[in-house]
A and B are shown apart, each in its own frame.
Chain A
């Protein structure tokens, strides 16, 4: 027991903090300088990696911290993308209005779905979200008048320039996505470490006890689900105005599945695990495009290896290397 105590004490000590600060600083510097030396292709891949990192991070809020397993994060991402594109294309709103509004739309939509849905227990809710995600894809695919269905939605405009920054340039929109991505991560970081984060974790750990000590578990489950979804919606909006072309196939169940797998590989309930995991996985998958037939085989094998070695994912492996807890 004493040993255990000392170990925990050490983990919280200064060197750990300094090391984390250094890692974060290095990552930030690389991300900031990337457009200065990287090719357009690499910048595209980096944008995709950042978007997926935030998707996995926001997914972690719902599933990693609060508990309910869901398979529809890609659908929220898709609703945000199409909502933002349509608000600008059909309703004539500027991006700077469509962007927050699409986040709010997805947040509210998820609340409406989550309120009755989250009353279902465990696997039942998980299965429901899977079909819900597929349902959204079918709606996007078949509402041809609105979404242009399988032909794809073209002509989406880049964000209007502000402060003289022209977001039609690749570099500028890279920095835009980096900025909002970081903002989302910082928001999630403070949220999961806040008092609210503690209540969410208590629901994951034991819902009945959580309720018995006074936590309105149904409210907080919906809140976490909708907040995660809302952030995915915001990422969808950024994606739409960065690539300026939307196709339903981007938002199939595979996208939701990828987010789940990224979060699992990174380590659920660690926030930075899913974020880093998603970033790395997107990079690897993209860079393996030269061998499309092996891409998913290698990826699946890597996934199995990681989860067999450490069910807690990459963060679990990092923890073990450091000789920390457990």
Chain B
């Protein structure tokens, strides 16, 4: 059981606001880890630090034993960490096909895409059940589809670790079920380690082998879904938030 990611004493301040406060955790190779916590707990900020969008105020992040904190996002992506954004981001003017192809080009640039690379796009579109939208312009699709396209494009970069920030928010129950199946497949068949941030408890409970709970930037609990669901600190944090 080797660790793919090791986060040590991670901290991020914005002016006076402490968004992440000395968080430490390890992620096992091949696992499905969930990160939960009330709004503003520092989940997205943590993702932004792991993927290089933000520099940590202090602390280190190691990916496969190599320090990644402080590197540019494209370098981290090239090392094998993929991500999707909480607020969907897309190359709106491209067709779905070109969108995914761009992900392949970003990691394996060719003057003209090879036949293998074209096949790879088709394979990914099929996996994500996007083949019917192949030639549609991305900006004309629903947010739900765009999120799926973002995921498919991240897959095209052949990540070893994927950070998914509220991928399921705003999806219908049917879409959530489909996406859950897809995530399992990505994890089990492609061997990609997943870290997911979700507000939908059903998703977290069903999908994740381990859960980390953040509150005001601090890690307040860690354990299996059962352990976390029964943890007093967690219940208090959530009830305190809602009351």
Decide if B132 is an interface residue (CB 8 Å cutoff): yes
A214 close to B (CB within 8 Å): yes
Name the interface residues of A295-326: CB closer than 8 Å to any CB of B: 325-326
| Given A211-B74, A214-B107, A4 contacting B85 (CB threshold 8 A) | no
B204 contacts the other chain (CB 8 A): no
Q: Does B133 have its Cβ within 8 Å of any Cβ on chain A?
A: yes
Contact between A208 and B102 (Cβ–Cβ < 8 Å)? no
Residues on A facing B (Cβ under 8 Å): 1, 4-5, 8-9, 194-196, 198-199, 201-202, 205-206, 208-217, 269, 325-326
* 4 A-B pairs with least C-beta separation: A205-B91, A214-B77, A209-B89, A8-B135
With a CB–CB cut-off of 8 A, which chain B residues contact A326? Answer: 137
Q: B136's contact among A5, A194, A196, A216, by CB below 8 Å, is which?
A: A5
B137 touches A214 (CB 8 A): no
Contact A213 B94 (CB under 8 A): no
Q: Which residues of A contact B157 (CB under 8 A)?
A: 213-214
Q: Which residues of B contact A196 (CB under 8 A)?
A: 109, 111
Cα A326 to Cα B92 with chains together (Å): 13
By DSSP majority rule, is chain A's interface helix, strand, loop, or mixed?
helix
Residues of A within 8 A of B137 (CB): 325-326
Contact (Cβ within 8 A) A201 B106: no
CB of B51 closer than 8 Å to a CB of A: yes
B99-117, CB under 8 A of A: which get 1 and which 0? 0011101110111110000
Pairwise interchain contact A213-B102, C-beta atoms closer than 8 A: yes
Q: Among residues 76 to 104 in chain B, which have CB atoms less than 8 Å away from a CB atom of chain A?
A: 77-78, 82-83, 85, 89-95, 98, 101-103
Q: Is the CB of B83 within 8 A of A195?
A: no
**B73 near A: Cβ within 8 Å?**
yes
CB pair A5–B89 under 8 Å, yes or no, is no
| A233, B77: Cα distance in complex, Å | 36
Known: A9-B135, A194-B112, A213-B153. A199 touches B77 (CB 8 A): no
Closest to B111 in A: A194
Does any Cβ of A come within 8 Å of B218's Cβ? no
B53 in contact (CB, < 8 A): yes
A-contacting residues, B34-90, CB 8 Å = 51, 53, 72-74, 77-78, 82-83, 85, 89-90
- Specify which of A1, A206, A211, A216 lies most central, judged by the most chain B CB atoms within 10 Å of its CB: A211
Q: Are A213 and B106 in contact (CB under 8 A)?
A: yes
Contact B106 A210 (CB under 8 A): yes
CA distance A55 to B64 in the complex (A): 48
B128: min CB distance to chain A, Å: 15
Q: Is B224 an interface residue (CB 8 A)?
A: no
The docked-state distance in angstroms from the alpha carbon of A205 to that of B90 is 7
Chain A residues near B53 (CB-CB < 8 A) = 208, 212
* Chain A residue contacts of B98, Cβ below 8 A: 198
List 4 additional contacts besides A4-B140, A196-B111, A213-B156; criterion CB under 8 Å: A5-B132, A213-B154, A214-B107, A269-B93
With known contacts A209-B150, A211-B74, A212-B77, A202–B106 Cβ distance under 8 A: yes
Q: Which residue of chain A lies nearest to B137 when distances are taken between CB atoms in the complex?
A: A325
**In the complex the two chains form, is A205's CB within 8 Å of B73's CB?**
no
- A4 and B90 form a contact (CB under 8 A): no
Contacting pair A216 B94 (CB below 8 A): no
Q: List the A residue with the shortest CB-CB distance to B88.
A: A209
B77 and chain A: residue at smallest CB distance: A214
In the assembled complex, the Cα of A205 lies from the Cα of B136 at a distance in Å of 16
B51 and A212 contact, CB distance less than 8 A: yes
Given contacts A209-B89, A212-B73, A213-B77, A202 and B102 within 8 Å (CB-CB):
yes
Tell whether, in the assembled complex, residue A211 and residue B73 are in contact, meaning their CB atoms are under 8 Å apart: yes
